[in-house]
A and B are shown apart, each in its own frame.
Chain A
Amino acid sequence: MPLVDHVGVDQIYGPFVLLKGASDVGFGELAQIRMKNGDHRLGQVVLNGEDATLVQVFSGTSDLVPETTAVRFLGRPLEMKLSPALIGRVFSGLGEPRDDCGPVYSAYSRDVNGSPLNPMARVYPRNFIQTGISAIDVLATLIRGQKLPIFSGNGLPHNRLAVQIANQSQLVGEENFAVVFAGIGVKRDDAAYFMEELFEKGRTKNMVVFLNLADDPVIERIATPRFALTVGEYLAFELNMHVLVIMTDITNYCEALREVGVAKGEVPSRKGYPGYLYSDLASLYERAGVLKGIQGSLTQIPILTMPNDDITHPIPDLTGFITEGQIVLSRELDSRGIYPPIDVLASLSRLMKDGIGKGYTREDHPDLASQLYASYSRVQDVRALASVIGEDELSQIDISYMDFGKSFENTFIKQSYDEDRDISESLDIGWKLLKMLPRNELTRISKEEADARLK
């Protein structure tokens, strides 16, 4: 069927154009908005009625003239062309080449919205990924196929941490490892940093980049992570690669959703974010995993900056309910010069329980992790007490907790930017620290283990 141009639109507001009289238009269909001078922009049908069709224009509605603007419905959803030649390329937030290497030619393409994975097709992720970072490896273990976000704040070194994870992950070095990077509303500097650290200095050449810069159209941001994940799924589940998808910054993505939702006149829910924020975020985060009969895997590290460092803000809150744990960065540790400033008490990896211990990392790992948490958690209570009555008044046991806390932060959490610790090394540091505490305080460790490790 030939594509028809519908000339003239009836309403233009926010990122939307509304036109009447278009028939045979599918919900979610891609549209081309053509201007008189021959330029065109992409849009998507967000509401289609019998007599009116609402199209959301990705690059905004500035300069559109109602009389002469033509809309052409393309009869297909937003798609990404897929081929192994994608590797090494840089695209815009809408999947158009951003480097000078020309378009991707392929007869194969997929709808960027993806489809829900059948839980029957999944394999429960159990393969430990060594990141070389003690706080993560021991206390919030990353598992292949997991979605583990970094909850950060403005000005904290989350980008650095993400790069370190990507470069040190022991996936690296395997030929079939790839990184897909989605920059959602990122600053030009951040984008350059990632490109340089991962592409040029990094250990992988298998990289695909999608960049929606901070000054690019806001609406495009809604599509950017979907393009990245579509490519990620293709590499993982069709080319059998181990793929790490880094998405930053999810907060910008949610802001874009809110902007569009409000412009559409939707009933807002918490803090003005749309009521479907949870479902929408889930449609991104759930696109990770390991599947039956497929070699590859898709691991996600979304990065989000918590507005005002508030972990109960809807964005981190809803993310935490969907993702399999979180790595939380602490401003307090950062200000004390501790890198990576990982708040181990608030951080968590839900898949850790089945991916550590005998046969995965080391048999003493689970109990050690539990004990370190418990002891460090006690440190916080003691510190609170010390700030009231002063350190001098503390009991002997409490003083040993204070010392333990300090050493824990300075030798266990703290490590340098290029320090790649082996898991055994990290675990041994943990045991060494526990020796600072009286034996009867260590209730999470069995007697045999304590005898063997705490000599």
Chain B
Amino acid sequence: MKNTQTKQAQQPIVTRMVSDETLVQVDSLHKRFDISGDFLDQVQFKGGRFSLNRAYVYAINGVSFDVKKGEALCIVGESGCGKSTVARTVMGLLSPSSGSISYRGQRIDNLTDRAMLPYRKKMQMIFQNPYASLNPRKTITQTLEEPVHFHNPQLTGMQVKERVSEVMESVGVDPSWGVRYPHEFSGGQRQRISIARALTVEPEFIVADEPISALDVSIQAQVLNLMMETQEQRHLTYLFITHDLAVVEHFGTRVAVMYLGTICELAQTRTLFSTPKHPYTQALLSAIPRLDDNRPNHIKLQGEVPTPVNLPRGCVFHARCPHAADRCRNEIPRLITQSDQSQVACHAMEEGRL
């Protein structure tokens, strides 16, 4: 929180033009990973006969959300809750087990690589680790020019160079550094170059998978502000994956809180931070250390996050929830829109027990 305040002091909140137009729609997305291994690992001798034993990690369990044009939708949650899987599935790096992903109303999750190509120009991704996301054998210029050449075969070499150096300047990387290799740059510079790579194809939607969590704290604000400036200049829409609540408060227009592969609350940033409704969100927000409070009233959750291999029945949060009732143990809650436009998946909330 302290961080947020200093960041806000440095940089006025960027005005965003959020429209009602839905850019990306994710509908009841499921993703499970097979962990049963090969055939011999699966065969099991039990009760006098052989059977096949299959096991799955249920990474995403029915996630639905819309991304509106011009907004920055943040997805928060603890490690292993499926944030990154959502990001990678939206980008088509993973294929969903069920459910659909649409871009401007067109389903894109079942397209062939060739049919996907026009959408690749529109949707780009920024990765978490700037030390691994640039090819160490390519110079910066090569890394940045290749996508432009690939997606715009009609451009001449000079036009490609112009576009690349324009993008490099806009992210604060000197175009004359292009002859260098990634290992000659610092983490923050590399992340700027990764952002530049995503921008070279002139996308309108960018998925950022924890883009600042691998960076030094002093660099985080710079990169974050760079992303906000580019959003304003290029009218971008972000899907921003993070676990840093301070960043969310600074950056996001709306926030989706994830727990064990499901969204438990989706609300406007201000609404979520002022009146968190889901018990998990309340616990999460109460865990933020505050300077103005010397008698912290953290909500202490009991137990551990259940394993995504054996999902609990009913609400995934029921085992740790102080308000859990019988219904919570048996029925999976759906996201229900509240009076202040926030969406909450909680039976207790729906029944007015909270």
A-B complex is real: no
Chain B interface residues (CB < 8 Å from chain A): none
